[in-house]
Amino acid sequence: MFKKNKSLQVSERFFNLLEEKLKIYNTKLDYELETFNNYKEQGLILKIYNINDLELCIWSCKARSSDNIMVIAALPECKDDNNLFDNIAYYNAEYFHHDDFENATNWALNIIKKHFSRDFIVSSSFKFDTYYSITEIERISYDAENLDYEDYHDLATFDNSGYFCDLIILDGKMGLRYSKYLNAEKDEFDNISFEPYQPDLTSEVTLMLGMKQRLENFIDKDIELENKKTFKI
């Protein structure tokens, strides 16, 4: 069977996680993912553009002489026609422990946000909080059938303006409790329903995206129900 080399696997894992993190931002940036190979490093390069032709390049792969993750961020002037970085870019590379993709992608994300600061519009309509680490939430989920709400209370919360959902344990099941604010001050609310749900606990990003999607689905159904009541559909 065909097998990808270690450096390309590292690069793909890095950019998959970076893509997840970029999804929560509302930008009009364009992205192109291509390969590079200078016989010492092999991996992927992400080319990022905005409508004003501002450009940034991100390279990621396994480091030349270790298993660490190497990440390079540079202007297009540091890239040749074969997608290879120059010596200046190489000497400014950042290195991360071989399994520390979280910090490696956070570093790249911060560079992107600074370079394209005018293009990044963080949605102010939602807020996401976790009250335990991903590892702790995963451990709690394994023992859910022996637990109830009082044991850990809220594990995470996704707040989308007039609605919010909490990841909780209820009667031995992990799931989402959907609630709706009753006033603009958000100090009064109704807990509407509970839905059993096993979230993707790969990272905080996957947890957040899953809760976001579930809450949006719930809001659509609740608004549709309210419309039927109002307009007697």
DSSP letters, 4-60, are --HHHHHHHHHHHHHHHHHTTEE---EEEEEEEE-SS-EEEEEEEE-TT--EEEEEE
Contacts of residue 108, defined as CB under 8 A and 6 or more positions apart, other chains included, come to: 14, 18, 58, 60, 71, 73
| Res 125: pLDDT | 63
CA distance 21 to 106: 8
Per-residue pLDDT tens for 76-85? 999 999 999 9
pTM of the shown model: 0.57
Q: Which of 160-169, 185-194, 221-230 shows the lowest mean pLDDT across its residues?
A: 221-230
Please answer whether residues 122 and 25 qualify as being in contact, where contact means their C-beta atoms are separated by less than 8 angstroms: yes
| Domain definitions of the chain by residue range | 6-121, 123-231
- Selected residue with higher pLDDT from 97 and 216: 97
Of 85, 101, 222, the C-alpha closest to 161 is 222
Residue 11: half-sphere exposure toward Cβ, Cα within 13 Å: 23
Q: Reduced to 3 states, what is the DSSP secondary structure of residue 120?
A: coil
Q: Which of 9-13, 28-32, 86-90, 159-163 shows the lowest mean pLDDT across its residues?
A: 159-163
* One-letter identity of residue 167: L
- Selected residue with higher pLDDT from 117 and 47: 47
Residue 98 has pLDDT above 90, yes or no: yes
